[in-house]
Chain A
Amino acid sequence: DAKTTQPNSMESNEEEPVHLPCNHSTISGTDYIHWYRQLPSQGPEYVIHGLTSNVNNRMASLAIAEDRKSSTLILHRATLRDAAVYYCILLKAAGNKLTFGGGTRVLVKP
């Protein structure tokens, strides 16, 4: 299975943008890039996903490199409620099993 690599942690100030990188150099052509986040003591929550083109929704934006070997999740204005562990996950075309890595723990400072 293709793996993802994320920094262990990142800090941000409230109201500032947060850019969360993810490397997936062995991604295959049919792998979708998914992002989930897990707030303290809660279940994971879907954030966004994409295949080749950049994607935007009300929660975040996803920028995908042209060669698809990396992507960046962008939180445009971090709030204290965005403090969570963010997981970058590749989802194979043939299955729906989510494989969670270590994720990036985001700390938002007031």
Chain B
Amino acid sequence: NAGVMQNPRHLVRRRGQEARLRCSPVKGHSHVYWYRQLPEEGLKFMVYLQKENIIDESGMPKERFSAEFPKEGPSILRIQQVVRGDSAAYFCASSPRSITGETQYFGPGTRLLVL
């Protein structure tokens, strides 16, 4: 039973380029969450998506960042015109349904380095 998969595991971009991070949730899970962990800091919530819908994007910067979870295929976190401050580990998590107490299953993360 495959867990949450994220790719790439490591991504290097130069300032101004675009970064695309992919997340395949656990099979059957329809809820996806993205978190960001800056160096030496705790994880911060970014966005919560259900298939084809953004439920809560309160933690996502208003500019340059976008997320989607299409009907078919993985969830994508897109960062346009990256800056050095975007360097971080980005973790995706999934859960089977949106009820309190539901466990979130995390992927191994994508480590983004902006040069």
Contacts and interface: CB of A to CB of B under 8 A. Distances in A.
Interface of A: 30, 32, 34, 38, 42-46, 49, 51, 87, 91-103
Contacts, number: 61
Contacts of A49: 101, 103
14 contacts: A30-B100, A38-B43, A43-B107, A43-B108, A44-B43, A46-B103, A46-B104, A91-B101, A96-B31, A96-B98, A96-B104, A97-B33, A97-B48, A100-B43
Interface in B1-45: 4, 31, 33, 35, 42-45
Residues of A contacting B: mostly: loop
Nearest to B91: A43
A44 B106 CA distance: 6
Interface residues of B, number: 26
Contacts of B102: 96
B56 interface: yes
A16 B103 CA distance: 28
Interface of B: 4, 31, 33, 35, 42-45, 48, 56, 58-59, 91, 93, 95, 98, 100-109
A44 B105 CA distance: 8
A87 B42 contact: yes
A45 to B, nearest CB: 7
Contacts of A95: 56
Contacts of B108: 42-43
A28 to B, nearest CB: 12
A43 B5 CA distance: 11
Nearest to A93: B100
Contact of A96 (B4, B44, B91, B95): B95
B103 to A, nearest CB: 5
Contacts of B95: 96
B113 to A, nearest CB: 14
Contact of A103 (B42, B56, B93, B109): B42
Given A99-B45, A100-B44, A101-B42, A91 B56 contact: no
A60 to B, nearest CB: 14
